[in-house]
Amino acid sequence: MIFSSRFAPSPTGYLHLGNARTALFAFLAARQSGGRFVLRLEDTDQARSPEELAAALLDDLRWLGLDWDEGPERGGPYGPYAQMERLPIYAEYYQRLLDSGAAYPCFCSSEELQAEREAQRQAGKAPRYSGRCRALPAQQAQERLAAGEAASLRFAVAQQGVLRVDDLVWGERSYALADLGDFIIRRSDGSPAFFFANALDDALMAINLVIRGEDHLTNTPRQILILQALGLPVPKYAHLPLLQGSDGQPLSKRNGAASLRDLRAQGFLPAALRNYLGQLGHHYPDSQWRDDERLVAEFSLSQIGRAPAHYDPTQLLFWQEQAVQHSDIATLVAWLRDLLAEWVPAEALSNFVAAVRNNIRLPADAVDWAKRCFAPLPLPDDVRAELSAIPATFWEAARSSYEEEPQDFRAWSKRLGERSGLKGRALFHPLRLALTGQAQGPELAQLLPLIPRAEVLRRLTPISS
């Protein structure tokens, strides 16, 4: 089946990992099946949706690599793609529901509704609208509207019957219509309610797959009722189990969930996030690194699990390391150029990045190696102590062999081995310690030609403890 799916964020904050995962799954499902991926801004909460946030959202999605086929800044046949620009469309469909008797104006004030809910609660009943205004004679309702009385619009839910909702993740669920209560589809200030605009737009934008968070699962029956009343197609739904923090609590700043923006600022690569998020609550055939082609080709809606997924920063770092190792040099150079400019000469940048790529995860690691190569090297006390135990003759031999073979580490170390009589770890360990200040790190053969000659000679000087 060809799935056209969408991501429909409300731009009330920066994109967080939960939403980014929803967007990725919707993107992958569309791409995998050859369908369209649509972006729609649900910006009807004007007080909380400033334009900067919408712009940041588009920017974050592009950075993550989720380019949409239709949507803001791109257009498409079913636009406009921001809900505030679609109000005239909603007006037309409200009218259809009024005309067919599927919706009615409700004049109840919020105080009245609250009192009603309170009474229901005290009587041990689930709160839902009593249907008071549904019983108003049409003539009376018309007069009150004509007199300018504020009214919301409610959807009239059948009082009997059962609605079956099939979810690709949760299977079939049944809802007794009598339990739903007549719900608001237009607020008394005229703004569209989520249930209505969201479901209508999906149908009008020819979306046949809705992937979204589990928190919307219980909205689905109401949305299906609206679509059925309008004679519009009902999409398939896949509700993703919530993404929780490492402590099992809802994801928040406190349990480590940064916004995509924060992670980007920390230097995470978009390919790392794609691989990490793609396996969060979705099972690929194995847990290897995947390039974009395989992320798409091996994605399957049937592999979305029901257990809550947990954000795990260690896993994210693992995928970041993989992303660095799988990126080409040009990508890595672009990623690090600005940060390294202070330390690494432009002409050495590519070679430096090639030398350290297997030893870095985040840009800070690359800066650390850049300083080790291009700035004076401070040695920790334990390293100093270890080096000072090595006889001065070793360092003399090291310097003289280096002067003879300054560019070729292999030739140099071979010569030094012959002169000092040392080999293996006894030879290479002190060299690595003296040259980098660390027992482990990038290949010395790649690093050595990068370290300025004067620095190399300084580092090959005997150390007094």
Judge whether 167 and 173 are in contact, CB under 8 Å: yes
Nearer to ligand GLU, 198 or 420 (CB): 198
459 binds ligand GLU (CB under 6 A): no
Interaction residues for ligand GLU, span 201-240 (CB under 6 A): 210, 212, 216
Judge whether 237 and 220 are in contact, CB under 8 Å: yes
Write the interaction track for ligand GLU spanning residues 17-56; mark x where CB under 6 A is met and - where it is not.
Answer: -------------------------x--------------
Structure tokens, 205? 């934008």
Residues in a beta bridge with 41: 82
Nearer to ligand GLU, 10 or 327 (CB): 10
The residue sitting closest to ligand GLU, measured at its beta carbon, is 212
Rounded least distance, CB 122 to ligand GLU, Å = 32
Radius of gyration of the chain measured on its C-alpha atoms: 31
Nearer to ligand GLU, 134 or 216 (CB): 216
Interaction residues for ligand GLU, span 139-198 (CB under 6 A): 198
> Does an H or E element contain 446, and which?
helix 444-447
Nearer to ligand GLU, 38 or 108 (CB): 38
| Residue of 276, 299, 308, 280 lying closest to 289 (CA atoms) | 276
Nearer to ligand GLU, 10 or 152 (CB): 10
Q: How many CA atoms lie within 13 A of 130 on its CB side?
A: 16
Own/partner pairs for 381-389, CB < 8 Å, 24+ apart?
A: 383/433, 383/437, 383/438, 384/463, 384/465, 385/465, 386/430, 386/433, 387/430, 387/433, 387/434, 387/463, 388/462, 388/463, 388/464, 388/465, 389/465
Rounded least distance, CB 124 to ligand GLU, Å = 31
Rounded least distance, CB 280 to ligand GLU, Å = 17
Judge whether 399 and 416 are in contact, CB under 8 Å: no
Distance of alpha carbon 117 from alpha carbon 254, whole angstroms: 34
Piece of 6-14, 120-128, 228-236, 449-457 that binds ligand GLU (CB under 6 A): 6-14
Residues 333, 25, 23: CA angle, nearest 5 degrees: 70
Amino acid identity of residue 233, one-letter, is P
Piece of 4-12, 144-152, 348-356, 395-403 that binds ligand GLU (CB under 6 A): 4-12
Interaction residues for ligand GLU, span 367-396 (CB under 6 A): none
Q: How many CA atoms lie within 13 A of 463 on its CB side?
A: 23
Interaction residues for ligand GLU, span 289-348 (CB under 6 A): none
Nearer to ligand GLU, 40 or 357 (CB): 40
Nearer to ligand GLU, 42 or 60 (CB): 42
Phi-psi region at 130: left, alpha or beta (left = phi > 0; alpha = psi -120 to 50): alpha
5 binds ligand GLU (CB under 6 A): no
8 binds ligand GLU (CB under 6 A): yes
- Integer CA distances (angstroms), 314 to 25, 276, 321, 360, 455, in order: 22, 11, 11, 15, 36
b/e burial code for range 116-150 (CB count within 10 A of at least 16 → b): bbeeeeeeeeeebbbeebbeeeeeebeebeeeeee
Nearer to ligand GLU, 154 or 212 (CB): 212
Q: 146 Cβ partners below 8 Å, 6+ apart?
A: none
> Does an H or E element contain 112, and which?
helix 110-122
Among 3, 4, 5, 10, binds ligand GLU (CB under 6 A): 10
Rounded least distance, CB 200 to ligand GLU, Å = 12
Piece of 7-15, 73-81, 110-118, 261-269 that binds ligand GLU (CB under 6 A): 7-15
Nearer to ligand GLU, 102 or 240 (CB): 240
Nearer to ligand GLU, 238 or 258 (CB): 238
Nearer to ligand GLU, 214 or 365 (CB): 214
Piece of 8-16, 280-288, 375-383, 444-452 that binds ligand GLU (CB under 6 A): 8-16
Rounded least distance, CB 162 to ligand GLU, Å = 23
Residue written as token pair 């002067």: 403
Residues in a beta bridge with 38: 6, 70
Rounded least distance, CB 117 to ligand GLU, Å = 24
Binding site for ligand GLU (CB under 6 A): 8-10, 42, 198, 210, 212, 216
